[in-house]
């Protein structure tokens, strides 16, 4: 089990310090542009000497469901460029959302959009060399553009199209509080990453993990026992780190000691 935090690439120096202060050993870095890798490069020696592993959260703008073939091909090249660079830093996984579409199309042509995602992922997966891709559950609140990946059936459609040797699921507790479905029951065997945060069930507030914020003891205990999950990411405001780490320590018996 590796426990860590999420951070923008420009904040990775601070994130390394936070990990050392709290006995954590993982950072999920948000890479929004190829140039963001320069921040990772500058801190790579500190990351390695601290024994911190890295995961990457690809940009929210990434759209595997994109209807325009040329644009989707550009996104594929972008992901593969990141993977190539990430090999220098031993990145453990690349996390992404399923994508988005016009609301009317997400309703009437969802199967076509999901097929687009399969084509996109197939192009990426064929060119990987042991790297892991994870797909994260999202939420949507309506509007002209809506997210896909907001229900179990979306992921089943995609996962059933591949052998899953280098693809897995990322379960986000905060997103599930807003758009709930039986993700843990459905994908426990392929869940590689868990994002931990709480909220009020309406807004993605990135609060700490507590019953008050929607994350009860049973859910948290079940998540911490997932056999295939190695990476747990505190995706919350830093003010909630210590209380959340203490709760995880109580349930697992693991002591996260500062260096």
DSSP H or E segment with residue 196:
strand 191-196
Residue 9 in domain: yes
Residue 257 in domain: no
Residue 259 in domain: no
CB-based burial label for 115 (10 Å; 0-12, 13-18, 19+):
middle
Q: Considering the entire predicted model, what is its pTM?
A: 0.97
Cβ neighbours of residue 1 closer than 8 Å, sequence gap 6 or more: 224, 229, 230, 232, 252, 254
Q: How far is CA 85 from the centre of its chain?
A: 19
Range(s) of the domain holding residue 66: 2-252
Structure-token pair, residue 38: 């320069």
Per-residue pLDDT at 258: 81
Per-residue pLDDT at 257: 84
Tens of pLDDT along the chain (259 residues) come to: 999 999 999 999 999 999 999 999 999 999 999 999 999 999 999 999 999 999 999 999 999 999 999 999 999 999 999 999 999 999 999 999 999 999 999 999 999 999 999 999 999 999 999 999 999 999 998 889 999 999 999 999 999 999 878 999 999 999 999 999 999 999 999 999 999 999 999 999 999 999 999 999 999 999 999 999 999 999 999 999 999 999 999 999 999 988 6
The enclosing domain of 32 has a CATH number of 3.20.20.150
Residue 258 in domain: no
Number of structural domains in the chain: 1
Cα distance between residue 134 and residue 168, in whole Å: 5
């Amino acid at each position: 089990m590796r426990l860590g935090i999420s951070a923008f690439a420009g904040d990775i120096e601070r994130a390394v310090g936070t990990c050392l202060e709290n006995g954590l050993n993982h950072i999920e870095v948000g890479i929004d542009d190829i140039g963001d890798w320069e921040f990772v490069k500058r801190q790579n020696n500190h990351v390695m000497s601290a024994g911190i592993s890295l995961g990457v959260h690809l940009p929210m703008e990434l759209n595997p469901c994109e209807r325009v073939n040329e644009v989707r091909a550009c996104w594929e090249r972008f992901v593969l460029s990141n993977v190539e660079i990430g090999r220098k830093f031993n990145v453990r996984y690349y996390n992404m959302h399923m994508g988005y579409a016009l609301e009317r199309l997400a309703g009437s042509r969802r199967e076509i959009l999901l097929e687009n995602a399969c084509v996109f992922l197939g192009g990426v997966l064929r060119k990987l060399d042991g790297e892991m891709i994870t797909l994260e559950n999202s939420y949507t609140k309506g509007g002209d553009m809506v997210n896909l990946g907001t229900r179990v059936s979306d992921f089943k459609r995609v996962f059933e199209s591949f052998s899953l040797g280098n693809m897995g699921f990322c379960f986000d507790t905060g997103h599930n509080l807003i758009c709930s479905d039986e993700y843990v029951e459905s994908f426990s065997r392929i869940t590689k990453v868990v994002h931990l945060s709480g909220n009020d069930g309406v807004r993605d507030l990135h609060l700490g993990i507590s019953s008050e914020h929607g994350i009860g003891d049973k859910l948290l205990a079940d998540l911490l026992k997932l056999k295939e999950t190695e990476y747990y990411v505190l995706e919350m405001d830093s003010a909630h780190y210590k209380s959340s780490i203490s709760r995880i320590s109580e349930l697992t018996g693991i002591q996260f000691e500062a260096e």
